Amino acid sequence: MNNSDEELNIINTVLGFCESGDTHLEPETMLNPVTHYTDPDRLNQEIETLFRKFPIIVGHAGQLKDAGQFFTHNDTGIPILVTRDKTGKVNAFVNVCRHRGAIVETEACGKANTFSCPYHGWTYGLDGNLRGLRQSEGFGRLEKASHGLVELPVFERFGLIWVRPSPAEETIDIEAWLAPMAEQLGSLNIESHTIYREWSLHRNMHWRIALEGFQENYHFCSAHQHTACSSYLDNQSIFLNKYPHFRHAVPISKISDLAEKGATPEDYRPNFMTQNYMFPCNFVQVMVDHVYVHTIIPTGQNTCVFKCMMLIPEPAVSEKAKKYWEANYNVVQKVFGEDFEIGESIQRGLSTGANTNFTFGRYEAGLQLAQTAMDDALEGKLSC
Ligand code: FES
Ligand SMILES: [Fe+2]
């Protein structure tokens, strides 16, 4: 089914649910053992598998518009340097010097011709090649060609930069990996958006708790009672399984107006917030007129970082535009903040023994879909 047909289908399914009083239900509930959040071995396994073998969104193409632009990413446990070289190619490297291991580029972003290690000044090109070492006679016949920065698989797709944070040899078929989401992501023109704000929040909760806050909307009218609740239909949404990813379409309250006039595919975007989950930790959250891209990454057993970019269709130049986007930014900060506060409260209760399992309800399809895909990956049944 193409994207337009899919979107028309989503609208009509929601309108049907509104009339019948139904909502999307998975066939069964699912139990998730609390040890999945508390067991250090499980977390290590998740890091080694989910955060080393699959692509993670690290930036937006706009951060690498020109040759020489670079940015760094420091949250996966593998320091990453991403560059655009003179040929226009995007490269990603382990940001670690091949001499004695210092972090080579310490700035968050910038423009450069070469990268010079702060420790002894070894210099690398935008393509990662070792260009020069001071007083090289002290290194015998050291082969420059085999002492370039270690490359990581990197892909520029749908205006986003995706990196697999491990230099392992297996290649990634990124087209096949993103194929289930390709038509929809392609239709958003993310590459022509600009970053209005970009931020990272370090929070005190296991990464899965933070992730789960974005995988169901059953919580909207309790956790977001005074904020998001009124904008959306209560506990009404469509989940499309695009294994190992999913599309979660949450209807805006005014969608019921379409019941009488009849819907066309053009009615989709103005009437939905879409939370697209790309395994293992990437979200492209599509609002009516802008987009949030976020990732959630473990930084410890009980800590994680939430990294978010707010993307707007064109730069905010006028005062009116600035005010408008700032208001949107403030609302989303508040709503995300409500999720994280509850997430941290879950973390505080994890070790009490009150629960041995968490119950993923039939409404909470996203939790079930992601859990299934993660179990598959951890058991070696899912790769990319
Ligand atoms: S560690 Fe980088 S030049 Fe020595
Ligand atoms: Fe929420």
3-state SS string over the chain?
CCHHHHHHHHHHHHHHHHHHCCCCCCCCCEEEECHHHHCHHHHHHHHHHCCCCCCEEEEEHHHHCCCCEEEEECCCCCCEEEEECCCCCEEEEECECCCCCCECCCCCEEECCEEECCCCCCEEECCCCEEECCCHHHHCCCCHHHCCCCEECEEEECCEEEECCCCCCCCCCHHHHHHHHHHHHHCCCHHHCEEEEEEEEEECCCHHHHHHCCCCCCCHHHHCCCCHHHHECCCCCEEEEECCEEEEEEEEHHHHHHHHHCCCHHHHHHHEEEEEEECCCEEEEECCCCEEEEEEEECCCCCEEEEEEEEECCCCCCHHHHHHHHHHHHHHHHHHHHHHHHHHHHHHHHHHCCCCEEEECCCCHHHHHHHHHHHHHHCCCCCC
Which residue, judged by its Cα, is nearest atom 4 of ligand 1?
120
CB contact set of 367 (below 8 Å; sequence gap of 6+): 30, 32, 212, 215, 216, 360
Does the beta carbon of 96 lie inside 6 Å of ligand 1?
no
Report the distance separating Cα 314 and Cα 39, nearest Å: 45
Q: Is 256 exposed, middle or buried (CB count within 10 Å of its CB: 0-12, 13-18, 19+)?
A: middle
Query: Which ligand is nearest the CA of 98, by number?
Result: 1
The pLDDT of residue 261 is 87
Ligand 2 center–CA 173 separation, angstroms: 33
Domains and CATH numbers, the chain: 3-52+180-378 (3.90.380.10), 56-163 (2.102.10.10)
Does the beta carbon of 67 lie inside 6 Å of ligand 1?
no
pLDDT tens digits for 128-149? 999 999 999 999 999 999 999 9
The pLDDT of residue 169 is 78
Site to probe by mutation for ligand 1, drawn from 103, 116, 120, 134 as the one with most ligand atoms within 8 Å of Cβ, is: 120
Ligand 1 center–CA 361 separation, angstroms: 53
The amino acid at residue 180 is: P
Query: Which ligand is nearest the CA of 136, by number?
Result: 1
Does the beta carbon of 119 lie inside 6 Å of ligand 1?
yes
Does the beta carbon of 117 lie inside 6 Å of ligand 1?
yes
The pLDDT of residue 39 is 98
Report the distance separating Cα 96 and Cα 130, nearest Å: 12
Does the beta carbon of 382 lie inside 6 Å of ligand 1?
no
- Below-70 pLDDT ranges, the chain: none
Does the beta carbon of 130 lie inside 6 Å of ligand 1?
no
The pLDDT of residue 328 is 98
Q: 154, 163 in Cβ contact below 8 A?
A: yes
Ligand 1 atom nearest the C-alpha of 121 is 3
Report the distance separating Cα 33 and Cα 40, nearest Å: 14
The pLDDT of residue 1 is 85
Query: Which ligand is nearest the CA of 229, by number?
Result: 2
Ligand 2 center–CA 348 separation, angstroms: 19
Query: Which ligand is nearest the CA of 285, by number?
Result: 2
The pLDDT of residue 381 is 98
pLDDT tens digits for 10-66? 999 999 999 999 999 999 999 999 999 999 999 999 999 999 999 999 999 999 999
Query: Which ligand is nearest the CA of 222, by number?
Result: 2
The pLDDT of residue 170 is 83
Which residue, judged by its Cα, is nearest atom 3 of ligand 1?
120
Ligand 1 center–CA 142 separation, angstroms: 14
pTM: 0.97
Ligand 1 center–CA 384 separation, angstroms: 34
The pLDDT of residue 266 is 96
The pLDDT of residue 288 is 97
The pLDDT of residue 231 is 95
Q: What residues pair up with 240 in beta bridges, in sequence order?
A: 247
Ligand 2 center–CA 192 separation, angstroms: 28
The pLDDT of residue 324 is 98
The pLDDT of residue 51 is 98
Ligand 1 center–CA 96 separation, angstroms: 9
The pLDDT of residue 73 is 98
Ligand 1 atom nearest the C-alpha of 97 is 2
The amino acid at residue 23 is: T
